[in-house]
Amino acid sequence: MSARRRRQGAGVLAVGVVLLALAFVVPENRVLLLNAFLAYGALVVGLDLLVGDLRMMPAGHAAFFGAGGYATVLLYQKAGLPLPVAGVLAVLIVGLLAALIGLPAVGRSSGFSFAIITFAFGELLIQLIANVPGFFGGSSGLTIDWGVGSDMPFDFSVYRYFTLWLVVVLVVVMGVVVLVRNSHLGLRMKAVRADENGTRGLGFNPTTYKGIAFVLASMLAGLVGVFWAPMNGFISPDTLGVNQSILLLGMLIIGGVGRITGALVGVALLVTLPALFDMDPVLRTVLVGGLLAIVALLQPSGIVGGLASLWTRLRRPRTPPPADGAVDATLEPAGAGR
């Protein structure tokens, strides 16, 4: 396991170096596009802890992303805290929310019922925000005055500085996922996925590990929200909606669950390419639905999983045919010919 962890850790560092180089050289008119890839990449990679390792399908993962953004803005603007302190507290608040919602949910539900509970939590947050406009800004959202659009030192725009932060966030999320998957926690999560009832016979409670994974994935989503809201200078209830959560699940399933590369490929296909070609939102919805149907019918392991299977088959050595034709392996009965 240690060799695998080192190999995957080296891969995370390599991806980080490439993205860091892109952060400096990407044209200014593509900086926001790169930022979207980084933010959604971190969201989907963190979500894969639930989907890939435990087969849990939350329909409200975006709610924790939005909660991190809202908490950061409120702590910064209304409580007057410095932005870094507000961000740390926001992640802790998201973790507390996830524990209050997730721990009872994972212990009493699974599958479709778990998805319904997480969906209900997201809708509850949206209704709370919409009905307290004086504090949360209502359906119009909240703006944050942090100098977005102004020039920064070294002639960088503020958006490019957020690119550097988002690279760090994505590397941190990938590193956490690699560490978890190559730890005793990851092994027990896989055991829970394989046979939840059987794990109880082994002496450990599957609810504990499902709850830990849910809180951890939610905090990682909140961490992305901490940087996303100040970068945009605005956050609204749409950030928490079920459509956003379904999009995150779609990107992960299409790219391939259980693989960091699968998550990033899904984000590139459904976030980066549509934005690059200025695709209509309706067409993007059609693209998501079409790719989901194709993957479900032809390659349930996703695009990256299908390519990995193909590569394995191509590398498998073929058994050469016998040189002298077929060999009759029928044994002669004992005593024959006597």
Q: What is the pLDDT of residue 114?
A: 85
Identify which of 309, 242, 303, 306 has the alpha carbon closest to the alpha carbon of residue 269: 303
Q: How far apart are CA 326 and CA 324, in angstroms?
A: 7
Q: Which two tokens stand for residue 302?
A: 């996703």
Q: How far apart are CA 188 and CA 190, in angstroms?
A: 5
Indicate whether 331 pLDDT > 50: no
Mean pLDDT estimate for the chain: 85
Residue-wise pLDDT tens digits, 235-290:
888 888 888 898 899 999 999 999 999 999 999 998 888 888 888 877 877 888 88
Q: What is the pLDDT of residue 327?
A: 47
Indicate whether 16 pLDDT > 70: yes
Q: How far apart are CA 184 and CA 332, in angstroms?
A: 54
The full set of domain ranges for the chain reads 2-242
Residue 49: its H or E element: helix 31-54
**Angle subtended at Cα 90 by Cα 255 and Cα 118, rounded to the nearest 5 degrees:** 50
Residue-wise pLDDT tens digits, 121-179:
888 888 888 888 888 888 888 888 765 455 555 667 888 889 999 999 999 999 999 99
316: phi then psi, degrees, rounded to nearest 5: -70, 125
Q: What is the pLDDT of residue 146?
A: 61
Q: What is the pLDDT of residue 18?
A: 94
The proportion of the chain whose per-residue pLDDT surpasses 90, expressed as a percent, equals 37
Residue 149: its H or E element: none
Higher pLDDT, 226 or 153: 226
Q: What is the pLDDT of residue 143?
A: 84
Indicate whether 92 pLDDT > 50: yes
Whether residue 46 contacts residue 194, with contact meaning beta carbons closer than 8 Å, is answered with no
Higher pLDDT, 197 or 65: 65
Rg (CA), the chain: 24
Q: What is the pLDDT of residue 294?
A: 86
The proportion of the chain whose per-residue pLDDT surpasses 70, expressed as a percent, equals 90
Give, to the nearest 10 degrees, the angle between helix 206-232 and helix 83-108. Answer: 150
Q: How far apart are CA 121 and CA 132, in angstroms?
A: 17
pTM of the model: 0.87
Whether residue 242 contacts residue 30, with contact meaning beta carbons closer than 8 Å, is answered with no
Q: What is the pLDDT of residue 115?
A: 86
Q: How far apart are CA 276 and CA 265, in angstroms?
A: 15
Indicate whether 226 pLDDT > 80: yes
| Highest mean pLDDT pick, 135-144, 194-203, 209-218, 299-308 | 209-218
Indicate whether 329 pLDDT > 50: no
266: phi then psi, degrees, rounded to nearest 5: -60, -40
Q: What is the pLDDT of residue 165?
A: 93
Q: In 3-state terms, what secondary structure has residue 210? A: helix
Q: Which two tokens stand for residue 326?
A: 């077929």
